[in-house]
Each structure stands twice: as C-alpha cells, then as structure tokens.
Structure 1
Amino acid sequence: MFKNSHLTRKKRRTALVIGCGRLGANLAGSLCDKGYDTIVIDKDETAFGQLPDNFSGYQITGDGTDKNLLEKAGIGNADMVIAATERDNINSLVCQMAGRIYQVPDVYMRLNDPNMEDIIEGYGIRVIYPFRLSVNEFERLSHAKA
C-alpha cells in the first residue's frame, strides 16, 4: 500500500520573534535548537548579525507591527510569538495582535516597565522582565555564597 510520508510527519512548530537584539537573537537560536521553524523580524538588517551560529531560521527586515508583514511571515499559523524589542509599546501592540487577532497559543512579551503590565492583563500574554530576571539571578547567586 502506498504511504504518503508527508501526511504522517508531525507538523513542526513555528515561532515568530519580533526584535533581533541580544534577547531576541538568543531566543531565536534556542527555538531553532528545540526544533521550531523560527522567523525573526527586525527593522534593522544589521541586527541579524547578532543571531547565533545555530540559528537556522528565516530573517525578515521590516516593521514587526505591520499587519501585512506579520501575515506574510505566517503569524496566522504560528504556535508562538515573542515580542523582544526594546520598546514596550511595540511589544505590547505585537502581542495584542498575536493573541487577540490571530489567536496565537503562546505569546511572550519583553517588558521593561512593570507599570505597563495593566495594559495587557487578561490577554494571556506571558511577560519577560529582563531587569527582574537579573535581580533574581543576583539574589540566587549571592545567597548561594552566604
């Protein structure tokens, strides 16, 4: 009996990363290692130089808040969106679009100002606080030596 192998293969998960600074670039590499088809979007083409050697995904130069660009990048079929720019307002907009318009199951947002968390409350957006993570790691390390 003929067996169509592409029908029996498990669908690879897709992740969009908006912002290719240190955080976005390293998360993109980590997602590639975990088997995700990863697409990184950044306005600055030179930012892609920060991607690690293990990055095997796609790079798109453009505005990560542009609905048409997000659709061309595949947000409608994405399993995960990570907004990792250094601008909280951009991250908030991208994440709200991902969750509310495209119903992306896993949405993560880099947030520098904890006071902005009220804006996204109730939308299922998970927040990454680089400052808090650094403080928590310092606390963990400093208590380990005490």
Structure 2
Amino acid sequence: MHVVIMGCGRVGSSLAAALERIDHSVAVIDKDADAFRRLTSEFRGQQVTGIGFDRQVLIEAGIERAGAFAAVSNGDNSNIISARVARETFGVEHVVARIYDPKRAEVYERLGIPTVPTVPWTTDRLMRTLLPDGVAAAWRDPTGKMAVLELPFHEDWVGHTVRELEEATGARVAFIMRFGSGVLPDAKTVVQADDQVYVAAKSGTVSDITSAAAQAPEEGH
C-alpha cells in the first residue's frame, strides 16, 4: 500500500521508517527540505517539498493512489486541513491527524477523522489507525527489527497444528487468544475456529508471513 505522510519531524520520520520496514511505499511531505535529514539513510520513498494541503503537492506525493494518509506536522490547522483534503477531495480510506489541542481533537473525531494526541503518541498506534486489520504490529521492539502481530489466517488452517502454521509462514506463534483467554501453545496445539493467533516475526518479513497465512494449507500439511 502507498502511504503519504505530511510532516517530517520525529513522528513523521519514525512512521516512514516503520512503514517501509513492513514493505509499504511511502512519500513524505514537508515545507522545509532540511527536515528530510531526519529520514534514515535506508529510506527509499519520495521526499516532496511543499505545503501538505496543496493539491498539486499531494498529487506529486501520490495521493491519488494512496491507501492511507497521516498528517503529523507540528501545526494543528495544517494537519486537519490536509487530512480533510486527503479524505474529502481524494477519497483516501485511512486518514489520521495528530492534534495538540484536545478540544479540537473532539471536533475532528466527530467529523470522522481519527486523531492522535501528542503525549501518548506511538508509531504503532498510528500504524494501527492507518493500516488494514492484521498488518500493523501489536508490539515492536525498540530497534524496530522484531514485531508481534495478530495473524489473519485462511479458514482451512482450522484443525491444523501450530507447528504446521509456523513451517508454512516462517513465523513463531507467540500466543493465541481463545474465547477471551490467552493460550501459550506448543507445536502440537491445534488451531481452532475464532482463534486470534499472534506471531513473532522479523519486521521485514511481515508481508510474506501474512500472505502465506492467507493461503489455504498445501496438501500434506
């Protein structure tokens, strides 16, 4: 999925790196070209200099093909204007804005634009708002190299063992939520209908793991 981020401060640069680690394409917009120095040397996405709510700037950043947009600059007004343009003009499905003023945040939530306050911000909280279910990590280690995520799986995995699921995906099943309770599985634990399976994986392998689990088990598994 393509994600456009408006604002390349500490939040925007961290979010861009985290999204690229799980194989999403990213474009970052900032009015100050020097802000792009915060991006890691491994960053492969677009760097677009300009105002984040300018239509042409957004189009240059790929907003017309974007599945998600995050407005995380240091200005409430800029964030909410750009978020509304992304949602209302370009029809981006997943939009989130960082808001400093809690009173404003309540208003924007009523407009259907999720907001993230500054103090309790985390990269993964933003990612869970932006990305489809099952893609963002529930937990990530401080280096960003390892993640724990809920793994959506094909219905045909029901009745198969944890060992078989691990062999097919390359992930390690960390725990299972079953009927509201946590289960610490072993290799012989059988996957049941309505299980929520959480796996530990290297960040760069998340897309491959989710793709493998979404397929029916191969014959012989």
TM value normalised by structure 1: 0.77
CA contact (8 A) 2:48 2:60 kept: no
Identical-residue share of aligned pairs (%): 34
Where do residues 1-146 of structure 1 align in structure 2 (5 Å cutoff)? 13-133=1-121
Cα distance in 2, alignment partners of residues 133 and 82 from structure 1: 13
| CA contact 1:82–1:109 (8 Å) conserved in 2 | yes
TM (norm. structure 2) is 0.52
Residues paired across the two proteins, number: 122
What whole-Å deviation, never above 9, does each CA across 1:21-56 have from its counterpart, x for those lacking one? 000010011111111110001011110000123322
The answer to whether the 8 Å contact 1:99/1:124 transfers is no
Q: Higher relative contact order by CA 8 Å / sep ≥ 6: 1 or 2?
A: 1
Higher helix share: 1
> Structure 2: which 5+ runs fail to align?
123-221
Q: Distance in 1 between matches of 2:109 and 2:62?
A: 25
| 2:69 alignment partner, SS class | strand
Partner residue of 1:9? none
Check conservation: 2:83, 2:95, Cα contact below 8 A. yes
Highest CA radius of gyration, 1 or 2?
2
